[in-house]
Structure 1
């Protein structure tokens, strides 16, 4: 599932020099936003944590607190997001999505696009910071089949084998076809078991077999059988089984070209995928929409916020 990042480790990394550079950028009258952007986008998250620690050692202050005094708006939010440890950033995003703005798409993004070990780490860190079991939080916040899907994904027990069983693919494809043709309605249990349990390579093979049996893609069946959040999460799993970069390209396009710009989601995706597969997402965006993601981001944002996003997408 991993691919090509945009942000890579700095080969000549010196935490003390970078801490001093940021201190100079925010000290006195005026702020050197360009210098801040350069430091944050030319170092990995791990290196940024070292810079934070060195800044506190050298100046006796928290870097995040100092930036808050000098910055504002989405530029500030994005800078601060880049300073949060990777998993903790996702934990905080989940907390806000569940407890504050009920951003279902954010919850789905995180639970369907990360490895089992990522989800386990996120659950542990969520419990440590917020003193709540994420599974219980999800159970209390949601209901019905969508709740069951989220709780299944939270077990972090999806197969991650790269092997594909052709006989199994045919068998499960037939079960999916039969499950969607029941006289008394769709057998949601079969869809949940298959889509939330098998590895993505195996799912891709199952969906291919389904298309041959049914004469239409699995997306058609899902659109006919499900609606709302359940439709969203199942569609997402199908897209990821085929190409995770394509999934995020579609998500970003909707954030940019929907009703108003969804800055929160754009920022989250760019920050969280910058060291995983953001370069692949850019390529998938270009292939699907015949447009550059950098151009669309530039057209839809402004100021230092735009400059920061563009540097995350294409660091120097």
Structure 2
């Protein structure tokens, strides 16, 4: 963590230099006009790249390379356009494209995105460029770092747990390897540094990440009854179950075994397992974390549906959690999450995304993912930007302005038809004959 914080202290000056070089322009009006004319027809087709149904990574990497060359020419990294291009591919296909782009054309796209200032568009683009386990590791590290430097003032325990709960034993091993490869320190050391050594939540997180849960199917009814009895007796002035044992039960037993314990406890003693948790633990954060584990064990899909909903309900909206929960679960259990979301909130997840997400490119990508390729209607697409080299977005991410005032200021209208673009191009042709 110390090395990470030293690195953090140099970010500011490095970014200033990069931003300064990016903003340096010596373009004449004539060359800008040429670029504008060439860009118009291409931008008119942004909403539908028309990727072939047959994945040809050589062909598609070459197309992505053309985008990168345009970005180099324009002296900026057009995150909106890159995000748009990647939106039609599966997670596995995106990983192939990113790796082949670096191997064949020496564009390190992940590093280039990381050099951009923090913004929701940057977070979403990065999530599309890396594997889910790496996304989890990066978000986990970000939370620890932000907490360490007092960038956030709330307890991060529940968010840390939410990131790692879905990891099976193999995923946990990959998570630890990714974390140490990316950030030098073992994740266990960083957890103890920020959360406290010997802290109950630190122990819980470390035990989850050890990846030692029994993963066989089935459960022992006899064992479930014994554990349920011990939990009950501990709350009735009997011999208390020590925290280590409690943590071991929750991080070692199979989900089927734990579900049986919870059911037997409630059926036999007439109380939900949550009451035993409240009696065993005193701190509210500890109680909340173990209750969330109970909720996850009973229904992982419903648990993450609620995580997404809480993130969408926040003001400002918690983009990092929404992005991680949707893109990070795309290849694994997103369909179950969407199903549970619809049952719990009586509307499809995509409908909530349409009304809550206010950044059009992120909205479009997330809806494409949760609907398995169904694009939002043309009348919902944001305005198409013309020259990103003149982008005045404070984040530098190429964010599309969505307010009416911003649209009127730029003198542009949303959803221009192809005919309107053609007419606009002809005007410039008339002004500057070839």
TM-score for the superposition, normalised by structure 2? 0.64
1:48 pairs, out of 94, 107, 110, with 94
**Which residue of structure 2 lines up, in the alignment, with residue 112 of structure 1?**
165
1:214, 1:258 → 2: CA distance?
A: 37
Change (3 A) 1:299 1:198: same
| Residue 249 in structure 1 maps to residue 305 in structure 2 | yes
Residue 7 of structure 1 is matched in structure 2 by none
Match of 1:82 among 116, 128, 134: 128
Structure-to-structure mapping, 1:138-153, within 5 angstroms: 138-143=191-196, 144-153=199-208
Alpha-carbon shift at residue 101 of structure 1 (Å): 3.7
Equivalent in 306, 309, 327 of residue 271 of structure 1: 327
- CA distance in 1 between counterparts of 2:116 and 2:141 reads 26
Query: Taking CA–CA contacts closer than 8 Å with sequence separation of 6 or more, which of the two structures ends up with the larger relative contact order?
Result: 1
Question: What is the CA-CA distance between 1:194 and the residue it aligns to?
Answer: 1.7
* Counterpart for residue 311 of structure 1: 368
Partner of 1:100: 146
- What is the CA–CA distance in structure 1 between the aligned matches of 2:186 and 2:180, rounded to whole Å? 5
In the alignment, structure 1 residue 60 sits paired with structure 2 residue 106: yes
**Against the structure 1 CA distance between its residues 145 and 77, is the aligned structure 2 distance closer, same or farther, given a 3 Å change threshold?**
closer
Alignment partner for residue 314 of structure 2, among 258, 275, 278? 258
Q: Which moved more, 1:115-124 or 1:131-140?
A: 131-140
- After superposition, where does 1:193-272 map in structure 2 within 5 Å? 193-226=248-281, 227-272=283-328
Return closer, same or farther for 1:47/1:187 CA change in 2, 3 Å cut-off: same
Correspondent of 2:189 among 125, 136, 141: 136
Task: Tell me by how many angstroms 1:252 deviates.
Answer: 0.9
Instruction: Check if 1:162 corresponds to 2:162.
Output: no
Partners of 1:57 and 1:47 lie apart in 2 by: 15
Distance in 2 (CA, whole Å) between partners of 1:193 and 1:71 is 41
Among 179, 182, 186, the residue aligned to 1:126? 179
Do the aligned partners of residues 68 and 109 (structure 1) sit closer, same or farther apart at CA in structure 2, a change above 3 Å counting?
Answer: closer
CA contact (8 A) 2:302 2:341 kept: yes
Question: d(CA) in 2 for partners of 1:136 and 1:68?
Answer: 24
Distance 2:232 2:298 in 1: 19
C-alpha root-mean-square deviation of aligned residues, in Å? 2.8
- How do 1:14-33 residues align onto structure 2 when only pairs under 5 Å count? 14-25=56-67, 27=70
- Separation in structure 2 between the aligned mates of residue 65 and residue 42 of structure 1, nearest angstrom: 22
Q: Distance in 2 between matches of 1:122 and 1:280?
A: 23
- Residue number among 136, 153, 173 corresponding to 2:228 in the alignment: 173
Q: CA deviation at 1:161?
A: 1.6
Instruction: Write the distance in 2 (CA, Å) between the matches of 1:20 and 1:113.
Output: 35
Q: Distance in 2 between matches of 1:70 and 1:121?
A: 27
Provide, for residues 54-113 of structure 1, a one-character-per-residue CA deviation record: whole Å limited to 9, x for no partner: 323454323346667999832232012210233222221121121224733332023322
Question: In structure 2, how many angstroms separate the alpha carbons of the residues matched to 1:36 and 1:77?
Answer: 13
Q: Which moved more, 1:218-227 or 1:63-72?
A: 63-72
Closer/same/farther in 2, CA of residues 271 and 240 from structure 1, 3 Å limit: same
- Of structures 1 and 2, the larger Rg is shown by 2
Give the deviation of 1:39 after TM superposition: 4.1
Structure 1 residue ranges without an equivalent (≥5): 1-9
1:68–1:119 Cα change, 3 Å: closer
* Secondary structure of residue in 1 paired with 2:328: helix
For 1:5, the equivalent position in structure 2 comes to none
CA distance 1:68–1:158, shift in 2 (3 Å): closer
